[in-house]
Amino acid sequence: MNVTAYAHTSLAIANLRGVFILILVSFHACLAYLGSTPAMPAAFDLAPYMWLAFPIVDPRRFYGFDLYCAWEDVHVMALMFFLSGLFVAPSLTRKGAARFAADRLYRLGLPFLFSVFVLTPIAIYPVYLQRNPSGSPAEYLAAYRDLPFWPNGPTWFLWLLLAISLALAAIHALWPAGLEALAVLTRDARRAPRRFLVALTVAATLGYLPLTLAFGPFDWFERGLFSFQISRPLLYAVYFFAGAAVGAAGLSEGLLAPDGELSRRWRRLGAISPAFLFVWMGLTGVVLTYPAFAPMPMRTLSALAYVGASVAGVMLLMAVSVRFCARRFRWLELLSRNALGIFVVHYTPLVWMQYALLDLALPALLKAALVFGVTLPVSLALAVAMRKQPLLARLIGEEPAAMLRPAKQAS
C-alpha cells in the first residue's frame, strides 16, 4: 500500500465528512423557508403528518432554498451511505462478522434510541406549539403518545444504516469471499472508472425505479420506531455496498486514488450533475403538478434523471474532495471528529431556533443564516462536551475523547 497516497485520500475523506455536516445542518436550517411548502403548518395529529419533513413553517420564504434543498436531497444522503461503507471492509476483515455486528449495534443502535426517546420529543414540542400556542407540556406529551409512530427526525439514517450493515455482516459470515468479489468491481477504477460508474448506475436504477413507480418518490413509511422514504432504502443500500467495494479494493488504490481518473474528471462531473438535476426537477414538477395525468414514461424518465443526478453528484463530491481537499484544516478536523455527535444532537436546537424566529419580520435568508449560525456551534459544543464523558459519548455513538488517538498528518 502506498502510505502517502492512503494518507492523502484519508485526509480528503475526513474533510468531506466535515463538509457533509455543514451541508446537512444548512439543509435542515433552510427547510422552514422553502417557497414551495404549504402556507399553513401541518396539523400535529392528522395524517400525512407533513411536519415530519417540514417541522416549522415560517411565513417568510425564499425560492432559492428550494433549488438548494433539491440539490442536496438528490445526493447528500446517498453520499452519507457511500462514506459509511468505505471503511467497512477492513473493519469486517479485522473483527469478523459477529464482533462487527455487535459493534454496529452498540455504535448506531444506542444513539438512535437516545435520539428517539430523549432528544426528538424535546425537538418536536415547537411543532405542536406552532398550531397550539397555548398547549402545555402535559397536553403535548398526551398528543405525542397518541401518534401512531415514534418520530425520529433525521436519525432514521442510523437505524437504516444499522440494518444494511447487519445485512453485510450476515453476507460476510455466509460468504467470506464476498468482499473480494465486491472489490473486483473497482480493481481498474483508478485508470478506467467507467465500469464501476456504469455498475453503480445500473444497480441504483434497479434499486430505485421499481419502488418509486410503485409508491411515488416522496412517500414515507412510519411504523413504531422506524421510518424511511419508501422509494429509497434499496438505493441507499446500493451506495453503502458501493462504498464497501471501493474500500475493499484499497482506499487509495482504486476509484479514490489521488492520481486516479475520477479526480481528473471533476469538471465533466461538474457539468453532468447539474444537468441531470435540472432535468429531474423539470420532469418531477410536471409529474407533481398533474399526478393523475402523468404518463408512466414521464414518471420513468423522472426517476432515471434522479438516479443520474444522484450518481453524478456523489461522484462529483468525491472527485473534488480527493483532488482539492487533501489538506489539513483544523476547523474541518474538529467538525469531522465530532460529525456523528453533531448529527445526533443538532435537530433539537435547530427546530427550537426556527420556532424562536417565527414572529420576527426578518428576510428568510437572514433567518436561515441565524438558524445555521446558532445551531452549528451549539451542536458542536454539545458533541465535544458529551465526548468527554464515557457514558454520554456512547449515547451519541462516539468514543470518549480521552480514548481517541491523535489523527496522523498526511505526509
Give the per-residue pLDDT at 176: 87
Give the residue among 342, 346, 280 at the shortest CA–CA distance from 75. Answer: 280
Q: CB–CB of 347/123 below 8 Å? A: yes
376 contacts: CB under 8 Å, gap ≥ 6: 22, 25, 342, 346
Supply the DSSP string of 34-96, one letter for each residue. -TTS-SSPPPTTSTT-GGGT-S---S---THHHHHHHHHHHHHHHHHHHHHHHTHHHHHHHH-
Give the per-residue pLDDT at 402: 55
Cell of 271: 457539468
Please state whether 397 falls in left (phi above 0), alpha (psi between -120 and 50) or beta: left
Model pLDDT for residues 11-24, shown as the tens digit of each residue: 889 999 999 999 99
Give the per-residue pLDDT at 407: 43
Cell of 273: 450533475
Label the pairing between strands 220-223 and 226-229.
Answer: antiparallel
Give the per-residue pLDDT at 162: 97
Supply the DSSP string of 216-285, one letter for each residue. -SS-EEEEBTEEEETTSHHHHHHHHHHHHHHHHH-TTTSTT-TTSHHHHTHHHHHHHHHHHHHHHHHHHH
Cell of 4: 502517502
Tell me the domain boundaries of the chain. 3-403
Give the per-residue pLDDT at 408: 45
Model pLDDT for residues 158-201, shown as the tens digit of each residue: 999 999 999 999 999 999 888 888 888 787 888 889 889 999 99
Q: Percentage helix, strand, coil, to 5, in the chain?
A: 70, 0, 25
For residues 1 and 326, give the distance between their C-alpha atoms in angstroms, rounded to a whole number. Answer: 18
Sign of CA dihedral 205, 210, 211, 212: positive
Give the per-residue pLDDT at 290: 74
Mark the ranges of the chain whose per-residue pLDDT is less than 50: 403-411
